Structure formats: structure tokens, C-alpha cells
Copies of this chain bind each other. A is one copy, B any other.
């Protein structure tokens, strides 16, 4: 297990997660304290990632992840290992960085508003998806809607606290946890006023699809089909 604590500015974050993974039964766990871009080229760190069977990216500030890791050998190696089947997990900022397009920041609130979200390139492990976290707890629907209003090609996922999504190699996503995952699918969007909206103006968005998913529910990012755990169980029983 390799832990990348770059997003956090606390000195013990990496070691705390290593202890946690050892408690959970990992054979080994090592933290790579990548604090500047030159660290992300260290041969010993690259070797650790090459040897890992799991990679975990901690929470903190996702702009530290993108500014320090972006374009480095470590970032390229994480993508390559993930493509080869190694599980890459993250919490909070560590989840936000996963997609091609990352929510770098934004204002809280329920309404989509021009200028209330900042997008930046992420690690690129997930295509056609945008992730947000602490979602209902921090009232982030507005910034998620604004994110899809720019270019409705990606599905947006708002993940609550104490809630995880597992995305497999078929781009199928499973919800696990006590909270809800809010899915906004703009695939059939008929109109977005983003191109004409002035800064701070409320947006018009017509034709979004909305799903509220909870523990055991599934969503396929490729087909854009949601399946309730109940429905899935009854299909299996049938």
C-alpha cells in the first residue's frame, strides 16, 4: 500500500493512514511525502508506486495535488498502474483529483451561478465524470450544476460524507455508505444559459436528469443507467 499525503499540510497524515492500513491487514504501507514537484520525480518513490498493489491519496487541498503532481513522473505512473488494474483510492481532495476535470473550488449554495465554480485538470483516472465531496453537508449542488453547465459532456457526482463510490474497469459505480450520492446527468440538456450569463447571475439549465442513490445502488457511467439495489436484487432472484 502506498499513501500520497500531498494534499494535507499536516506532518502526520501519511503515517496515520499507514497505521490504519496496517491495522486493516495490509502487508505493508508506506507514505510518500511528496511536498514539491522535485519529490514527484524521486526514483525511490517511483519504485514504491511500481511495487504497490494499492494507492491511496489523502484529503486536504486538491490544488496542492494538481499543482505538485500535475505532469510529473509520479502522476504518469499512477495513471499507468491504474490502467493496469491497480486500485487507486482517495478521500475528499484525493477523490476530487481523480477525474479528467476537477472541481478546484467554488461557493456553497443550491443554485448554479456563473462564476461560482473553478475547474482545473485532474489526474485523469476517470473520464466523463466530475466528482464533488462533502456534498450535502456543505451544500454544493449549485457548484456541481455550474460545473456541468460549461460543457454537458460529463456526468456529475456529489458524494456525501461517510459514503464511497467504487468505480470498476467497466465504468460501473457502486455506492457504499450511510449517505447519498447525487447524480446529475446533463446528457439530454436542452439549454444552458452559461454562454450568455454575467458573473454572479443565476443560470437557466433545462433538461437535466437527477438521481439520488444510496447504499447498494449502481450507476453505469458509460450507459448512464442507474439501478437501485432493490431492483438489482430482485433481478438476481428472478
Give residues in A with beta carbon < 8 Å to B.
109-112, 135-136, 139, 141-142, 145, 160, 178-180, 182, 184, 190-191, 193, 196, 201-214, 217, 226-231
Contacts and interface: CB of A to CB of B under 8 A. Distances in A.
Contacts of A228: 191, 193, 204, 206
Contacts of A205: 210-212
A51 B16 CA distance: 75
A207 B226 contact: yes
Given A230-B193, A231-B191, A208 B210 contact: yes
A230 B111 contact: no
B207 A212 contact: no
Q: Which of A182, A227, A228 has the most CB of B within 10 A?
A: A228
Contacts of A208: 209-212
